[in-house]
Amino acid sequence: MSKTEPVEASNFIRNIIEADVAAGKHDAQVVTRFPPEPNGYLHIGHVKSICLNFGMASRFNGRCNLRFDDTNPARENEEYAQAILEDVSWLGFEWSELHHASDYFEQLYTYACDLIRAGKAYVDSSSADEMRAMRGTLTEPGTPSVYRDRSVEENLDLFKRMRSGEFDDGAHVLRAKIDLASGNMNMRDPTLYRIRKIAHVRTGDSWSIYPMYDYTHCVSDAIEKITHSLCTLEFEDHRPLYNWVLEQIDAPGAPEQTEFARLALEYTMLSKRRLIQLVEENHVRGWDDPRMPTITGIRRRGYTPASLRDFCERIGVTKNDAWIEMMVLENCIRDQLNVEAPRRMAVLDPIKVVITDLPEDYSETLSFANHPQDESAGRREIPFSSTVWIEQDDFAEVPPPKYQRLTIGGEVRLRGSYVIKCNEIIKDETGNIIELRCTHDPDTLGKKPEGRKVKGVIHWVCAKKGVNAQVRVYDTLFTVPNPAAAESFTDIINAESEKVMSMCIIEPSLTAAEPETHFQFERLGYFVTDRRDHSPTTPTFNRTVTLRDTWAKK
Ligand code: ATP
Ligand code: MG
């Protein structure tokens, strides 16, 4: 296990809920929700929120709903909604109820009319510019709009006509009547409804007005009898408004909002808006590009649901913003796959070795353990013959100091096979080495060589039975730890974030693997068969992570 894993990371929210349950608050019930807006694909930041909301519900035998916060029809669509459902399920969570904020439009409208009747809301017909000018500043109070004291009757009539589509976008808004002098700008008569003459995926053309997030969210929480409404820190300043709305209306539940720090992950950008830009500007090959921090991208890269849940456990939940190092995420998948992934051999950048003291048609079958520490993982057979592929990197014509791999006149062990010695190299007309001519020591299969030490062990694949494959090697998409701070993507996109290697040779058994199967390629790292492109005739692998942490070096 890696050093980064705490026994149980800090989670102040767990402590709050524990105390609430002990005190019998909310009838000792725990009901949470994960409330995504279907305006993009979920990313690893959302995983933190999902694990927290579903995790707390399950820990306290409660319930967690999935609610689409679909009040902004201009940006939302069904593709996103479907992807969100798939991603949450894939992470291993089951929602108690599936809801849409749009299901509450009628109820939200009724409550808004109640607010008007109680003198707590009014229709403002000022332009957006006028309203901005009247908002005041942190040191100066806002100025009341000339429409602030409209009569209840006039407000109700206008609001009804806003709903029926009589007015154009921007002609009026419905505002809460709270406190124009409040030090909290969110309390200076915030907008509750705006006119948007745009069709909604679910409600079609039935509405010309749409409720704002701050009004919708607390009411939706209350309707669903959410007990603990967990959200990110930027909503802390909105909490007084959340509570204000719920105090005014006669809502079924009494949810309480608690804020926690967003996940910020180095070398990663977590904002749907910016991720859309990456896709639309073709910096990546789509939402599920293995370099994307989307759940679907991370999944295609080879991360497992368990590794992501483990990540959320390790980082904990706090009220302080902090950057998480990439190493923390990588260690989660490394630790899991080290235990679970079967070992295989693959050569990514091959050079041919001809064993000249074996007959040309020589073949032998060698038995390999699938996992060095786990006998129950079984064994497999690997073909060996008089020609094998090894990595170009594992041979040096002019070896650097302390080089323990193959050199001219030097010996190395082919893992699980014989010790070979290179006697001669063959080059093409341009001087590239194309073949290493070697001899083998027949007395070294499963045995140490007599009278000498051979330190180097390299992986290999039989050239006669090995199969050609494509392997994609990934690095971070950005060259800087905080890409969101950069002016433009073009300066900070890592040109080497993806290396497509098409001449790779793999053990023949690997072609039969189903898509999304994880392996350790000996000495190379952890790899997964690609979800989309892998098949027996097109074996395709993505490197999930290197074997060992490479961040310390950087
Ligand atoms: P983005 O800025 O990427 O669009 P968002 O906050 O607008 O994210 P929502 O769909 O509104 O996205 O988010 C659903 C839930 O996920 C919210 O409760 C939100 O606070 C939470 N969430 C979003 N990003 C993060 C993050 N980086 N870390 C933790 N929780 C997050
Ligand atoms: Mg949002």
CA separation for the pair 280, 276 (Å, rounded): 6
Looking at residue 224, the DSSP 8-state letter turns out to be: T
What is the DSSP track for 344-381?
E-EESSEEEEEETTS-TT-EEEEEEES-TT-GGG-EEE
Give the domain CATH number at 104: 3.40.50.620
User: Is 543 in a helix, a strand, or coil?
Assistant: strand
Q: Residue 552 domain-assigned?
A: no
Same structural domain for residues 231 and 325? no
Q: Residue 5 domain-assigned?
A: no
Give Cβ neighbours of residue 433 (< 8 Å, ≥ 6 apart).
351, 392, 395, 397, 425, 426, 427
User: Is any ligand 1 atom within 6 A of the Cβ of residue 270?
Assistant: yes
Token pair 């090894």 in the structure block, residue:
390
- pLDDT of amino acid 550: 82
Q: Which residues constitute the domain of residue 531?
A: 272-340+469-545
Angle between helices 213-223 and 105-117 (to 10 degrees): 110
Residue that terminates a domain, selected from 465, 500, 534 = 465
Q: Looking at this protein, which amino acid is placed at residue 338?
A: N
- CB count within 10 Å of CB 134 equals 18
- pLDDT of amino acid 490: 86
Same structural domain for residues 411 and 506? no
Same structural domain for residues 122 and 222? yes
Residue that terminates a domain, selected from 209, 225, 260 = 260
pTM over 0.85: yes
If you take atom 22 of ligand 1, which residue's CA is the nearest one?
46
User: Is 284 in a helix, a strand, or coil?
Assistant: coil
Instruction: Give the atom of ligand 1 at the shortest distance from the alpha carbon of 273.
Output: 4
- pLDDT of amino acid 7: 56
Taking Cα atoms as reference points, which of 13, 69, 78 lies closest to residue 220? Answer: 69
Same structural domain for residues 87 and 183? yes
Give Cβ neighbours of residue 282 (< 8 Å, ≥ 6 apart).
none
Same structural domain for residues 518 and 449? no
Token pair 């490197």 in the structure block, residue:
543
- pLDDT of amino acid 437: 98
Same structural domain for residues 150 and 211? yes
Q: Is the dihedral of CA 258, 231, 82, 45 positive or negative?
A: negative
- pLDDT of amino acid 1: 40
CA separation for the pair 72, 95 (Å, rounded): 23
Same structural domain for residues 251 and 126? yes
Same structural domain for residues 246 and 151? yes
Q: Residue 3 domain-assigned?
A: no
Looking at residue 451, the DSSP 8-state letter turns out to be: T
Q: Residue 42 domain-assigned?
A: yes
- How many independent structural domains does the chain possess? 3
HSE of 320 in the Cβ direction (CA atoms, 13 Å)? 5
Q: How many helices (H) and strands (E) does the chain have?
A: 12, 29
Residue 128 corresponds to which tokens in the numbers above? 């957006």
Q: Residue 123 domain-assigned?
A: yes
Give the domain CATH number at 317: 2.40.240.10
Buried b (16+ CB within 10 A) or exposed e, 528-539: bbbbeebeeeeb
Ligand 2 centroid to Cα of residue 37, in Å, is 6
Ligand 1 pocket test: which of 99, 232, 239 has the largest number of ligand atoms within 8 Å of its C-beta? 232
CA separation for the pair 311, 332 (Å, rounded): 6
Alpha-helix residue ranges (DSSP H) falling in 281-363:
295-301, 305-315, 326-340
CA separation for the pair 332, 316 (Å, rounded): 14
Residue that terminates a domain, selected from 414, 443, 465 = 465
User: Is any ligand 1 atom within 6 A of the Cβ of residue 262?
Assistant: yes
Looking at residue 358, the DSSP 8-state letter turns out to be: S
- CB count within 10 Å of CB 446 equals 9
- pLDDT of amino acid 554: 67
CA separation for the pair 186, 190 (Å, rounded): 6
Q: Residue 474 domain-assigned?
A: yes
User: Is any ligand 1 atom within 6 A of the Cβ of residue 46?
Assistant: yes
Ligand 2 centroid to Cα of residue 71, in Å, is 11
Give the C-alpha distances (Å, rounded to integers) separating 528 from 96, 524, 534, 548.
Answer: 32, 13, 10, 17
User: Is any ligand 1 atom within 6 A of the Cβ of residue 272?
Assistant: yes
Ligand 1 centroid to Cα of residue 66, in Å, is 14
Same structural domain for residues 283 and 425? no
Q: Residue 551 domain-assigned?
A: no
Radius of gyration of the chain (CA): 31
Ligand 1 centroid to Cα of residue 287, in Å, is 17
Q: What is the pLDDT along the chain (554 residues), one digit of tens a residue?
A: 444 444 567 899 999 999 999 999 999 999 999 999 999 999 999 999 999 999 999 999 999 999 999 999 999 999 999 999 999 999 999 999 999 999 999 999 999 999 999 999 999 999 999 999 999 999 999 999 999 999 999 999 999 999 999 999 999 999 999 999 999 999 999 999 999 999 999 999 999 999 999 999 999 999 999 999 999 999 999 999 999 999 999 889 899 999 999 999 999 999 999 999 999 999 999 999 999 999 999 999 999 999 999 999 999 999 999 999 999 999 999 999 999 999 999 999 999 999 999 999 999 999 999 999 999 999 999 999 999 999 999 999 999 999 999 999 999 999 999 999 999 999 999 999 999 999 999 999 999 999 999 999 999 999 999 999 999 999 999 999 999 999 888 899 999 999 999 999 999 999 999 999 999 999 999 999 999 999 999 999 999 999 998 887 76
HSE of 2 in the Cβ direction (CA atoms, 13 Å)? 21
Same structural domain for residues 380 and 236? no
Same structural domain for residues 241 and 111? yes
Same structural domain for residues 378 and 454? yes
